[in-house]
A and B are shown apart, each in its own frame.
Chain A
Amino acid sequence: MIAGGWITLFSPLVGAAVITLAGTRIGRRTAGYIATASTMIAFVAAVVAFVAALGKSPDARSQLSTAYTWIQAGSYQSGFSILIDQLSLLMMLIVTGVGSLIIAYSLGYMEGEDEERRYFAYMALFVFSMLLLVEGGNLILLLAGWGMVGLSSYLLIGFYHRRASAVAAAKKAFVMNAVGDATMAIAFFLLIKYTGSLSFSALGQVPAGNRWVVNIVALGLLGGAVAKSAQLPLHTWLPDAMEGPTPVSALIHAATMVTAGVYLIVRCNVAFQAAPHVENLAAVLGTVTLLMAGLIALVQVDIKRVIAYSTMSQIGYMFLGAGVGAYADAIFHLMMHAFFKACLFLAAGLLIHALGGEQDIRKMGGLRKLMPFTYLAFLAGGLALAGIPPFSGFFSKDPIIASALARGGWFGYLLWAAGLAGALLTGIYTFRLIFRVFLGEPSAFVREHLHTEHGEGPISMRWTVGVLAVLATVAGFLQFPPFWEPVSKWLEPVAPPLVVPTNAQEIGTLLIGVTMGATGILIAWLIYGSHRFRAPAASEVLEEKFFFDDLYDAAFYRPAVWLAAMLRRAFEEPVVQGSIVEVATGTRDAARWTARLQTGLVRTYVFAIAASLAVLLVVFVAVR
């Protein structure tokens, strides 16, 4: 089991290193094959580790393996260790499984790109970083993985580095993540101060009397999670991150990196349980985000942005679940979401690829007959997203909402109602997308630009989408609360749930949830499918994404720019630059003045000797 863990961790790193060091000596396809192979090896190793863990008793499933002492600073010490337990095994399977499928998809999608090798190296690096994050045996290694996935995200969003918008989006993502990293750092500083270590157990060792410290630690961790998972208020980077290639959006910004925040909360649940206010805050942020993102998704016209906002919304569900203490439900939804969201993104990639790079849904229409495979994949993902049985989302989304109900109190009811409202919105925006793109008659643009001579896409793209569509359809049967819950039982030793809904609450929420989703689909049908009603005019608030971008621009960006310009004018140029220039001109002037001694005339030199002789004579005589 441990060996599997180490192999899983380092296989993608080896792949990335090989591609980087080989440079242009290997072909572009070869780089792709290396990346795919290294992640598939990681997946196999993860499966082996998982099977080995299945064979053990539940107490023996959590193992910490340390390679060597990594940091030693005074009394603080931490080793390079990996923790293989129930939670990390599930995450490893998802990351390597979905990751290897998406990298295989990239073989077809990125074909012909000039810098393909760089892409595959970055993708392998990302998989390694994410694995480090989930396998890290202590908080320092988790932070290392955290930072590296941020880096990989920056590198991959800005992959098309000649496009100014891509570069700006990459910077935005990185800076916002840095805010989260800062709050996490503060949490870690406090942990070291009050417990002396950054192992996972240290999270529970902060003396309970220190209310402030406990809350700030949890708040710091939440800050990092919020930034990484693009929840309110650090969410504005995710839609812009769609500037990266579609497989990047699928892997990093749907299936894995953005879910790291949820993983963090579940992993550090001890810290959150000690600070119930922060846990409530997490639930609130998740809920507000899921509603807000759902509303914005209703008016987006870029296909990738619709899916991005739906990702934001679904992660809101996961935060809601983790915030009320339904950790296993949140992780299960994370897994299902990885499948159907990756399926949607990759199918969207098939569309974009066939239409020569077009992403505006207003130009699309009537693709149902022209791209049937893609249509089916979209349906599978979309129905899963909307929570319609027997697709996977149905099994994972509603238990979270039911847990909110089980939490009780007016707070629980409020969250429950919001979750159900979100289900309605999800149905509407998802099928708005599907009906706009696929139903009706082929639009003029489609007739001109669609090229499906060789089928809907390269074979590598199609089989991976197919696998994900199948998973989106059937994977849900893994867990069906309240009837069978193997996943919850599996995770119980690591993250026991704080609330357990009764059967009545569970089934009731299920029924209402499905109704909401179906109603959403119906509304979408009426407006976009059969055109019975006209869509209401989109309000400016929605179109401007609730003005968050403008708010941050005015509150942070403009003052920073002003401060920088002022410092430059007042300090940098006169003082720093001025002093340097002064030194230079001063030296030059001194040199020029001294050079006047070199007259080139013998007479002056002799005179100098004579004069100094006269002076020295006096000195000698006087000294005597």
Chain B
Amino acid sequence: MGNAIIWIVWVVAAFSCLGSGIAVVSFSNPFYSALALIGNLASLAVLYLLLSAEFVAAAQVLVYAGAVMVMFLFVIAYLGGRADAPWASGPSVQSVAAVGAAAALLVEVIVVIGLAAGGSLSSAAKVPSSFGSPAEIGQAFLTDHLLAFEITSVVLLVAAVGGVILGHHARSGTSWGSETR
């Protein structure tokens, strides 16, 4: 019974994931694309829960869907009409080649997965129930992966500074560059 429920949840989440993914790429209105992406993120969060990654799922919803996408929506709102963008004009060599490359990539990965499915991908490891809990994640971050943790914070700082600079409103007569003259 439990297995069937998991399968049903998985199928629903997977299809909504795929569907919203295709929607992101297809809509011409960027607002709709952003909303589709939010749906995609939500489905992914469900899939993470199925994979015993509770903390990551929570972070996904809070950070990704909650903060990053909100930022996206703010910018789309700011840009207003200018944000509307058509599809690339007609099938050109570039678009055909692009489709080809993407398809090739997809096929290759599926093939590899198929090849390994019987072998190394057959049995999943047994994990305790605390797997993926915040305590475990915290433990990992602060012991084994402390450097990554710290560097990530530096990256975020740089991004914040960059954001401020990029968004700086040039007051009449002054700009960043003129102060050095």
Contacts and interface: CB of A to CB of B under 8 A. Distances in A.
- Assess A/B contact in the complex (Cβ within 8 A): yes
Interface stretch (A238-246, A347-355, A556-564, A602-610): A602-610
Nearest to B105: A614
A617 B109 contact: yes
Contacts of A614: 101, 104-105, 108
Interface string B81-114: 0000000000000100110011011001101100
A617 B101 contact: no
A621 interface: yes
A71 interface: no
A566 interface: no
A604 B94 contact: yes
A610 B102 contact: yes
Interface string A605-624: 00100110110011001000
A607 B98 contact: yes
A291 to B, nearest CB: 89
Nearest to A608: B101
B97 A617 contact: no
Interface residues of B, number: 12
B98 A613 contact: no
Contacts of B105: 610, 613-614, 617
B108 A610 contact: no
Contacts of B98: 603, 607, 610
A617 B94 contact: no
B97 to A, nearest CB: 7
A618 B108 contact: yes
Nearest to B88: A603
A220 B164 CA distance: 90
B108 A607 contact: no
A607 B94 contact: yes
Contacts of A613: 105
B98 to A, nearest CB: 6
| From B108, B109, B112, B115, residue with most partner A Cβ within 10 Å | B108
Interface in A567-624: 603-604, 607, 610-611, 613-614, 617-618, 621
A607 B101 contact: yes
Contacts of A603: 94, 98
Contacts of A607: 94, 97-98, 101
B102 A621 contact: no
Contact of A611 (B101, B108, B112, B115): B101
Nearest to B106: A614
B1 to A, nearest CB: 39
B112 A621 contact: yes
A570 B90 CA distance: 58
Q: Which of B97, B101, B102, B115 has the most A CB atoms < 10 Å from its CB?
A: B101
Interface in B98-145: 98, 101-102, 104-105, 108-109, 111-112, 115
A610 B101 CA distance: 6
A603 B104 CA distance: 18
A476 B105 CA distance: 111
Contacts of B111: 621
A607 B115 CA distance: 27
Interface in A136-192: none
Contacts of B109: 617
Contacts of A617: 105, 108-109, 112
A605 to B, nearest CB: 12
Given A614-B108, A617-B109, A621-B111, 18 more contacts: A603-B94, A603-B98, A604-B94, A607-B94, A607-B97, A607-B101, A610-B98, A610-B101, A610-B102, A610-B105, A611-B97, A613-B105, A614-B105, A617-B108, A617-B112, A621-B108, A621-B112, A621-B115
18 contacts: A603-B98, A604-B94, A607-B94, A607-B97, A607-B98, A610-B101, A610-B102, A610-B105, A611-B97, A611-B101, A614-B104, A614-B105, A614-B108, A617-B108, A617-B109, A621-B108, A621-B111, A621-B115
Interface of A: 603-604, 607, 610-611, 613-614, 617-618, 621
